[in-house]
Amino acid sequence: MWRRLKLLAFRLRLNVASLEAPCFQASPECGRMENQTLPYLTQELKKAIKNAYRGGKSLGSTEKEAAALLDSLINTALSYGTSDIHLQNLGEMKVLVKFRIDGVLKQVVELPPNISDGLLSRLKYITHMRLDSPLPQDGRFDAKYQDKNVVVRVSVMPTRLGEDATLRLLADIARPKTLKELGLQKQDLEVIERALGRPYGMILVCGPTSCGKTTTAYNMIERVNREGVNVCTIEDPIEYVILGVRQLQIDLSVGLDFALGLKAILRHDPDVIFVGEVRDRETAEIAVDSALTGHLIFSSLHANSASEAITRMRDLGSRPYLLAATMNIVVAQRLVRKLCPKCKTKTKPRREDAALVKAGYGIDISKIDVHEGRGCKACQGSGYQGRTGIFEALRISEPIKELILASAPSSRIIDQARKEGFTSMFEDGLEKVKKATISLLDLLAATG
């Protein structure tokens, strides 16, 4: 009996030795939790883990307890503004739970075998995945948080050590609801507002993966979505439901790609079309043609800056005269973590950072005040709270159309744009550094 208890205790130990704050252990004999110092391991979550252990005894948690644990995990994650929950398999059915908060992965807790197994089974069951399939699988389910609907997109894949799952939390309440809330400042906002007032042409939002492009596009769509306007989208995936908008989901398993979806939408008499991403020649061609024939087209594009987006469209086969005729504006953006208002402190830029800015952008920042987050209880020691965008909005004016027609390099386009009042993403970010919204180091990392 003693041996069995010891074995059970060994199997159930929540081993977090590899974590930054390795202080959480479950004592299964009495269900007691000890030494809670891991910042994201709330009392609610600890209780759910404890119940899952009790419910399952040594055989694995029952469905009811696994369901409660999953709910608790999602609630806790959303209370910290988590965008993704990672369940990383460590082998022997142990799973490490991580939250992605403001773009950074944070370790939460390691679940012992009998609990993690039940949790993964529960996830597969509610997303209608096959329990016995060795292949990667995707699914989704609806959850509730503060009486609001949250769509949870689940991906499961077999790794060397066992099955991993990633849960993307698409909580509409967490999404900025206006262009200003995204972090757009007056000048760029005006350029965008003017472009949204035009009934046709192309608006591109660009940046790397996870830089907030889709959120910006959604906000723009909501600005033009009104009675009397037929708005259609083709997306992969549909992240948020916009009332009154016809949203199409890409499904490559049946051959429904961006190009096919876009062709279908064009037969439904659209006024405004959002193409989730232009990533191939055919989609680029149809999008440009549609913009030319009286539609307002929004799309996101993988390009580092607004001027690079023009080059990227050319690389995708779009002819300069068509681009010049159709493009309204190009917005480029990045997401940067906002400093925690409770613990940010004033300091001066480091000499090497000031030198870097001087050399790269010709701006002297050595005399300005900058801020850094020290870390406090309110921000779980991270020094940050939430994120904001830094932007540049390039208006395709008549002189810039001429430059596009002449296939001019990006540098000449930017020189002309500057004469018309264009400010770069770095300059927008520097304003936010001066306002103590973001740190200089994060700005340099985002734009470097």
Write out the residues near Zn ion by the rule CB under 5 A: 340, 342-343, 376, 378-379
Q: How far is the CB of 39 from Zn ion (least distance, A)?
A: 11
Give the shortest CB-379-to-Zn ion separation in angstroms. 3
Among residues 11 and 342, whose Cβ is nearest to Zn ion?
342
Tell me how long the chain is: 448
| Contact indicator for 300, 204 with CB cutoff of 8 Å | yes
Q: Are strands 231-235 and 272-275 parallel, antiparallel or unpaired?
A: parallel
Answer whether the bond into residue 399 is a cis peptide, omega within 30°.
no
Q: Kindly report each contact of residues 253-258 with a partner whose C-beta sits within 8 Å and lies 24 or more positions away, as own/partner.
A: 257/283, 258/234, 258/283
Residues 6+ positions from 108 with CB-CB distance below 8 Å: 38, 40, 41, 45, 97, 98, 99
Indicate if the alpha-carbon torsion angle 221, 224, 227, 229 is positive or negative.
Answer: negative
Q: Provide, rounded to whole angstroms, the least separation between the CB of residue 108 and Zn ion.
A: 19
Measured between alpha carbons, how far is 154 from 156 in angstroms, rounded to an integer? 7
User: 308 in helix, strand or coil?
Assistant: helix
Residue 244 burial (CB count, 10 A): 11
**Closer Cβ to Zn ion, 39 or 158, answer by number:** 39
- Cβ at position 8, least distance to Zn ion in Å: 40
* Least spacing, CB of residue 21 vs Zn ion, in Å: 16
**From the CB of 139, what's the least distance to Zn ion, in Å?**
37
Tokens representing residue 19 in the block: 């974590």
List b or e across 151-172, with b for residues whose CB sees 16 or more CB atoms inside 10 angstroms: bbbbbbeeeeebbbbbbbbbbb
* 323/340 with CB nearer Zn ion: 340
> Measured from the CB atom, is 81 or 162 closer to Zn ion?
81
The least distance separating Zn ion from the CB of residue 12, rounded to whole angstroms, comes to 34
Q: Who contacts 16 (Cβ-Cβ below 8 Å, separation ≥6)?
A: 22, 23, 24, 25, 38, 107, 109, 110
229, exposed or middle or buried, with CB in 10 Å at 0-12, 13-18, 19+? middle
Amino acid at 240: Y
Nearer to Zn ion, 232 or 343 (CB): 343
Would you say 303 or 379 has its CB closer to Zn ion? 379
Minimum Å distance from CB 344 to Zn ion? 7
CA angle 166, 111, 161 (to 5 degrees): 60
Shortest separation between residue 338's beta carbon and Zn ion, angstroms: 11
The CA-based dihedral angle spanning residues 50, 56, 60, 61, taken in that order and rounded to the nearest 10 degrees: -60
Q: Which is nearer to Zn ion, 102 or 308 (CB)?
A: 102
CB of 102 to Zn ion, least distance (A): 12
We find the least distance from the C-beta atom of residue 123 to Zn ion, in angstroms, to be 33
Q: Which residue is nearest to Zn ion (CB)?
A: 340
* Smaller CB separation from Zn ion, 340 or 443: 340
385 is written with which tokens? 């709270």
Looking at the Cβ atoms of 237 and 386, the one nearer to Zn ion is 386
CB-count exposure of residue 226 (10 Å: 0-12, 13-18, 19+): exposed
Q: Report how far apart the first and last C-alpha atoms of the chain are (Å, whole number).
A: 61
Q: Which is nearer to Zn ion, 43 or 345 (CB)?
A: 345
**Nearer of residues 341 and 409 to Zn ion, judged by Cβ:** 341
